[in-house]
Amino acid sequence: MDVVKVKLQDGSVREYPRGITAGELADLLSKRLAKEALVAKMGGTVVDLNTPVTEDISLEILTFDVPEGQLALRHSTSHVLAQAVQHLFPGTKLGIGPAIADGFYYDFDSPHTFTPSDLEAIEEEMRRIVIADYPFERREVSREEAIAFFQERGEEYKVELVRDLPEDARISMYQQGDFVDLCAGPHVPSTGRIKALKLLNLAGAYWRGSEDNKMLQRIYGTSFVKQSQLDEYVYRIEEAKKRDHRKLGVQLELYSLQDEGPGFPFFHPKGMILRNELENFWREEHRKRGYLEIKTPIILSRSLWERSGHWDHYKENMYFTRIDEMDFAIKPMNCPGAMLVYRTQQHSYRDFPLRMGELGLVHRHEKSGVLHGLMRVRAFTQDDAHIFMLSSQITQEIKGVIDLVDDFYKIFGFDYHVELSTKPEKAMGSDEIWEEATGALRKALDEKGMDYRVNEGDGAFYGPKIDFHLRDSLGRTWQCGTIQLDFQMPEKFDLTYIGMDGEKHRPVMIHRVVFGSIERFIGILTEHYAGAFPTWLAPVQAKVLPVTDRSNDYAFKVKGILEAAGIRAEVDARNEKIGYKIREGQMERVPYMLVVGDKEAAGGTVAVRKRGQGEQGIVTVAEFVTGILGEIGQRV
């Protein structure tokens, strides 16, 4: 019998008849696995389950438990969406319909303007298609055949996509029922594998992302293999709406976004308290670890940005001005300024590692369509640091930054995962330098025993990087911390140090951030805590609530004692009932409310209410001060 050797996920190698499909192989391995299987990975490539095994190869059967399985299910669901739309709204032309994080979308050019009520009807039609359990059938045709096929159906956008492919390309198309789409795949075996789906919202999207093209209608949705998973996701979405930092920022008087400054956040007094606490924490922790703080200008000459490489690699994201008939740029990054600070002195190997930190305001041009609260802005403060070192110090310094990042994120209760990004297509420097830099990052991660994922081709243009992705209280991930190893900038700026041999040598440099962007991190924290910041960060840490006007003098006396101890306090002296004041304090997410009446005034006490826990009893003012200061000091 003609056989192939298949290396399975557990490392074992087994023989099977040549031509067996991945789905048939899954059925031989486990009936349950075959039932849950969505796609397979053969030799590192994700393929349909009906793909035959024709040579010795490694093979994994993928379920919804892995990202590739989720992408395949949701990509398949986008095809079901397109089929349903064309059933209900004849004449609709198809754009593209990829899977995205947590869902999918499809772009349509339709004479009908979709409304939220249409989504319900489309969902029902999608469910009928799912129940029909149409198989996803792949076929390959020539470029000319594909063009003729889609031209006949009036699918001009598909024709454009096919024309962009090489002339000798074999074009893959997928069919389910009466619907055919241009697609590279892979797809799940049949529409029946989609057990739970939901359409989420509508948006406009320019064809191929260009403002010069027609605006299409985009429908977003998501899908799962269990209804319980969809229910949990919908709950998270609704909870996220309640936690929206744009809404809470206004409600809690932290920050705002104004039409007069699109993408440029305005921080209000309470927001500045929050921001300053984060920056003070940053400074304190960096001083402990031997960092020296610097501040560099916001506007620097064009020649500097040409030297750094930003002019060639980042110009489209920069703002420019002219001063004294010379070209200048508003800095999009802090690193060139740090290079200039380094160059003001001649350094010795004894100075290393030299760690310079900067809370530097940067500006980057973002298109208006991608601006989003504090999460995507045009001006933000990066908590940058640049570490200059010897080659022999690279691994130890990277490990030190990893420890710093870990300590920071634990304070805020964040879990995180790590990704290593390698050389992009558009990059400075030789392959040899990139391999050396990437190897150093790998070594540090391996010595720390950290799990990480490799993102091929996603590094910065000047060096590979380690990215830290936070997981918040709703299970969402945010990329914040970054460590970038750079052999390029020291060369570009001719940075040197005097070595043990008395000769000049080139230092190695690390770029790194922990918060990433102070503004974005505040947005993340606002949603993570739903505005209920821990006591050490809360803009108002204690609110004194007099029961009647007779207690106002005592309330302000208590406030004075708290403020003298360094506690941020307010008094609600309005002529309102105490229940109303308590509800207002709860809406403001104040950690502690201190109710004071005649009895408390006479005894020098306060009745304590703690956020989320209610009444805590009556204590003396001194006892309360001691307790809250301990909580603040521990940053809990």
Catalytic one of 386, 512, 528, 568:
386
pTM of the entire predicted model: 0.79
In-domain check, residue 343: no
Catalytic, 494? Answer no
Q: How many residues are listed for the chain in this entry?
A: 636
Q: List Cβ neighbours of 504 (8 Å cut-off, separation of 6 or more).
A: 496, 497, 498
Sign of CA dihedral 16, 17, 22, 24: negative
Check: CB of residue 621 under 8 Å from CB of residue 565.
no
Nearest alpha carbon to residue 72 among 85, 63, 80:
63
Catalytic one of 93, 138, 355, 364:
364
Integer angstrom CA distances of residue 301 from 311, 324, 334:
11, 11, 14
The CA distance from 555 to 553, in Å, is 5
Check: CB of residue 258 under 8 Å from CB of residue 323.
no
Residue 476 is part of a domain; what is its CATH number? 3.30.930.10
The CA distance from 333 to 488, in Å, is 15
Q: Which two tokens stand for residue 254?
A: 């932290």
In-domain check, residue 259: no
Check: CB of residue 218 under 8 Å from CB of residue 203.
yes
Residue 47 is part of a domain; what is its CATH number? 3.10.20.30
Check: CB of residue 467 under 8 Å from CB of residue 482.
yes
Catalytic, 386? Answer yes
In-domain check, residue 320: no
The CA distance from 418 to 552, in Å, is 53
Sign of CA dihedral 261, 265, 271, 273: negative
Do 458 and 562 belong together in one domain? no
Nearest alpha carbon to residue 406 among 439, 373, 450:
450
Q: In what order do the strands lie in the sheet with 326-330?
A: 299-301, 326-330, 319-323
Domain boundaries, position 163: 68-240
- Tell me the one-letter amino acid at 390: L
The CA distance from 489 to 125, in Å, is 57
Integer angstrom CA distances of residue 590 from 111, 545, 630:
51, 12, 17
Last residue of a domain, one of 43, 63, 83: 63
Instruction: Count CB atoms within 10 A of the CB of residue 112.
Output: 14
pLDDT digits (tens, 9 = 90+) for 305-326: 999 888 888 888 999 999 999 9
Nearest alpha carbon to residue 98 among 68, 119, 78, 116:
78
Residue 138 is part of a domain; what is its CATH number? 3.30.980.10
Do 511 and 560 belong together in one domain? no
Helix (H/G/I), strand (E/B), else coil: 576 = coil
In-domain check, residue 331: no
Beta strand pairing status for 415-421 and 452-455? parallel
Check: CB of residue 109 under 8 Å from CB of residue 157.
yes
Do 498 and 587 belong together in one domain? no
The ranges of the chain with pLDDT < 50 are none
Catalytic, 9? Answer no
The CA distance from 329 to 336, in Å, is 12
Within 256-351, residue ranges assigned H as helices are 269-288, 302-308, 310-313, 335-343
In-domain check, residue 302: no
Q: How much is the pLDDT for 527?
A: 93
Do 36 and 81 belong together in one domain? no
Q: How much is the pLDDT for 1?
A: 64
Catalytic, 364? Answer yes
Check: CB of residue 6 under 8 Å from CB of residue 59.
yes
Catalytic one of 79, 270, 355, 465:
465
In-domain check, residue 597: yes
The CA distance from 430 to 579, in Å, is 69
The CA distance from 442 to 463, in Å, is 13
Q: How much is the pLDDT for 312?
A: 83
Do 439 and 495 belong together in one domain? yes
Do 513 and 615 belong together in one domain? no
Catalytic, 559? Answer no
Last residue of a domain, one of 503, 528, 553: 528
Last residue of a domain, one of 486, 504, 528: 528
Residue 602 is part of a domain; what is its CATH number? 3.40.50.800
Do 522 and 614 belong together in one domain? no
Q: List Cβ neighbours of 26 (8 Å cut-off, separation of 6 or more).
A: 33, 34, 37, 40, 49, 61
- Nearest-Å Rg of the Cα atoms of the chain is 30
Catalytic, 214? Answer no
Catalytic one of 86, 382, 393, 484:
382
Strands (DSSP E) found in 448-547:
452-455, 465-471, 477-486, 497-498, 504-505, 508-513, 542-546
In-domain check, residue 537: no
Do 456 and 557 belong together in one domain? no
How many domains is the chain built from? Answer: 4
Instruction: Assign 3-state DSSP to the chain and report helix, strand, coil percentages, each to 5.
Output: 40, 30, 30
Integer angstrom CA distances of residue 344 from 340, 341, 347, 474, 495:
7, 5, 9, 47, 10
Instruction: Count CB atoms within 10 A of the CB of residue 552.
Output: 15
Do 356 and 228 belong together in one domain? no
Do 96 and 165 belong together in one domain? yes
Do 86 and 120 belong together in one domain? yes
Check: CB of residue 274 under 8 Å from CB of residue 521.
no
In-domain check, residue 502: yes
Catalytic, 480? Answer no
Beta strand pairing status for 266-267 and 255-256? antiparallel
Do 49 and 116 belong together in one domain? no
